[in-house]
Amino acid sequence: MQIRYLIVSISLFVFNLLPGQKSFTLEQAVKYAKTNNVKLKIQKTDIEDVEGQIKEYYAIGLPKLSATVSYNYFIKLPTSIFPDFLSPAVYNILFDENVLPRRDLKSNPGIPVAFGTKNNLSANLNFNTLLFDGSFFVGLKAQKLYKELITKQINQSESELTFQVTKAYMAALAIQENLKLVEKNISNLQKVKKEIAEIYSAGLIEKLDVDRIELSLQNLTTEKEKLDRISSITLNVLKFQMAYPISDDIQLSEQLNDVLNKSYVEIMDPSIRLNIQQRPEYPVIAQGLELAAINIKRYKVAYMPSLYGFASFQESLQRNKLFDSNDNPWFPTAYAGLNLNIPIFDGFDKKAKIMRAKTLHNKTKLQLTEFENAAQLEFENAKTQYLNASVTIESRKKSLSLAQKIYETSQVKFKEGIGSSLEVTSAERDVYQSQANLLDAQINLINAKVDLDKSLGKL
């Protein structure tokens, strides 16, 4: 028996680890969405891309070392024209010694000379490095800030996704709770119908009384069919927000009261204030503002000189017979130096870039101010809606309690023959309406709390 119990326990544990989960609490639904949402996956790959960009940019400032080997075989040696400096010298001597009569010499086009070796082999080792460039170091800081911006954008997307999944979960949960309520009312009304039928069979009431109960039952059945269709729609919306397969079944493992009893509904501190920096949008805009300021600095330091260092070592081999060791040896060449680049005039290119960067910085400032105002308005509205929902739910509970008492009294009066079926059906409709109103108030209270948490940056 113990072995069988152990096997069953292990099977249940493994089953719970299977990826094909079909039943979700709200927390599990949000976690599933964060794991499978395509937009978040793309943003997370952006982090990897930014890390690659940082390494690529950082490589600009690192020393570079390269080697080259070059070999040339001259089928025909290159020919150069040497000026004929021998003929004028010889003739001038002859003229001076009166060996020949002096005369003007014709210009000679030169003497073609082919020189060099058939085989030329060279090996070269080059080294260069950045010693100073102000825009490089500022740009490196900007790259790191951009990575932080992507991370904060992911946090913002996760917060918004949590909000959307919570809203969709609550909408689906509300329909399911409504369905349970209608099913319960149908079950109760079927019992009443059976009792009414027995009373009618005894001849104590009219057929009209039975028809009224039948009509109420048909109305509830129609309402249930409509809610079934709406339930499918709301579940599909939830699946979409979760990135859950639309064709797969899904169940909500939480009940409305479970959610009501959690932190979604609590006594709100009347002195609560908005801390704008807790909103996930704020660090994104603030990071953008810092990046805009860095951009201005990057263009300004571009006016400063940049300094590079370089060195080279080369050995060359020139032989008519490449592998003849008795021919020419290797000849080395080595040099090192500095390259100082001083910007003088760039056609106002950097000036225009600084102007655009300042415009972007001012625009981001205005966006931050606009967001602060919008966030404050959203918080005030959410707080008011939550207070109103808290008051409404207590009123709806009292209304439902009163409607149920009236309905129970009307049933007793009808069975005793001192009340009418019209009074019963009217009281019954009031109960259904009060139930719906209470359910609506509960959903509104939860949604108002979710909106308040979002406005406070708690999601």
The two three-digit tokens of residue 202, written as one number: 């005894």
Q: Is the pLDDT of residue 105 over 80?
A: no
Residue 203 region by backbone torsions, left for phi larger than 0, else alpha for psi between -120 and 50, else beta: left
What pLDDT does 4 receive? 44
What pLDDT does 63 receive? 92
Query: Which whole number is the average pLDDT over 72-77?
Result: 87
* Contact partners, residue 87, CB within 8 Å, separation at least 6: 105, 108
CA distance 262 to 237: 24
Q: What is the mean pLDDT of the chain?
A: 84
Secondary structure element (H or E) that encloses residue 436, with its range: helix 421-456
**Surface-to-core class of residue 454, CB atoms within 10 Å of its CB (0-12 exposed, 13-18 middle, 19+ buried):** buried
Query: Tell me: the pLDDT tens digits for 401-458?
Result: 998 899 888 878 877 777 777 787 788 888 888 888 888 888 888 888 889 989 998 8
Query: Tell me: the pLDDT tens digits for 33-46?
Result: 999 998 898 888 88
Higher pLDDT, 321 or 122: 122
Query: Tell me: the pLDDT tens digits for 354-374?
Result: 999 999 999 999 999 999 999
What pLDDT does 393 receive? 85
Closest CA to 171 of 262, 226, 255, 235: 235
Do 432 and 369 meet the contact criterion of CB atoms below 8 Å apart? no
Work out the pLDDT band at 77, boundaries 50, 70, 90.
confident
CA distance 321 to 316: 14
What pLDDT does 282 receive? 93
CA–CA–CA angle 43, 46, 50 (5° rounding): 150
Query: Tell me: the pLDDT tens digits for 129-148?
Result: 998 888 888 888 888 898 88
What pLDDT does 284 receive? 93
What pLDDT does 84 receive? 66
CA distance 199 to 421: 12
Work out the pLDDT band at 8, boundaries 50, 70, 90.
very low
Do 193 and 217 meet the contact criterion of CB atoms below 8 Å apart? yes
Secondary structure element (H or E) that encloses residue 338, with its range: strand 331-341
Do 182 and 221 meet the contact criterion of CB atoms below 8 Å apart? no
Q: Is the pLDDT of residue 195 over 90?
A: no
The two three-digit tokens of residue 357, written as one number: 């960067």
**18-27, 182-191, 288-297, 326-335: the lowest-pLDDT one:** 18-27
What pLDDT does 263 receive? 55
What pLDDT does 364 receive? 93
The two three-digit tokens of residue 304, written as one number: 């400063």
What pLDDT does 123 receive? 93
Query: Tell me: the pLDDT tens digits for 266-277?
Result: 566 667 888 899
Q: Sheet of 331-341: strands edge to edge?
A: 64-73, 119-132, 306-319, 331-341
Q: Is the pLDDT of residue 398 over 60?
A: yes
Q: Which of 82-91, 98-107, 203-212, 223-232 is most confident?
A: 223-232
Query: Which whole number is the average pLDDT over 218-222?
Result: 88
Domain boundaries, the chain: 18-62+133-304+347-456
Neighbours of 274 (CB within 10 A): 18
Do 414 and 421 meet the contact criterion of CB atoms below 8 Å apart? yes
CA–CA–CA angle 344, 349, 355 (5° rounding): 120
CA distance 366 to 368: 5
The two three-digit tokens of residue 281, written as one number: 């949008």
CA distance 50 to 143: 8
What pLDDT does 13 receive? 40
Closest CA to 181 of 354, 421, 373, 436: 436
Q: Which of 107-111, 113-117, 118-122 is most confident?
A: 118-122
What pLDDT does 374 receive? 94
What pLDDT does 264 receive? 52
CATH of 18-62+133-304+347-456, one of 1.10.10.10, 1.10.510.10, 1.20.1600.10, 3.40.50.720: 1.20.1600.10
Strands (DSSP E) found in 372-430: none
What pLDDT does 29 receive? 93
Q: Which residue has the tokens 């606009």?
A: 370
Work out the pLDDT band at 67, boundaries 50, 70, 90.
very high
Burial pattern 317-341, b for ≥16 Cβ within 10 A else e, equals: bbbeeeeeeeeeeeeeeeeeeeeee
The two three-digit tokens of residue 442, written as one number: 């509960």
Q: CA 260, 263, 269, 271 torsion: positive or negative?
A: negative
**Surface-to-core class of residue 240, CB atoms within 10 Å of its CB (0-12 exposed, 13-18 middle, 19+ buried):** middle
What pLDDT does 1 receive? 40
Query: Tell me: the pLDDT tens digits for 309-349?
Result: 999 999 998 888 888 888 888 999 999 999 999 989 888 98
Strands (DSSP E) found in 119-254: 119-132, 251-252
Look up the pTM and report it: 0.74
What pLDDT does 268 receive? 64
CA distance 449 to 385: 9
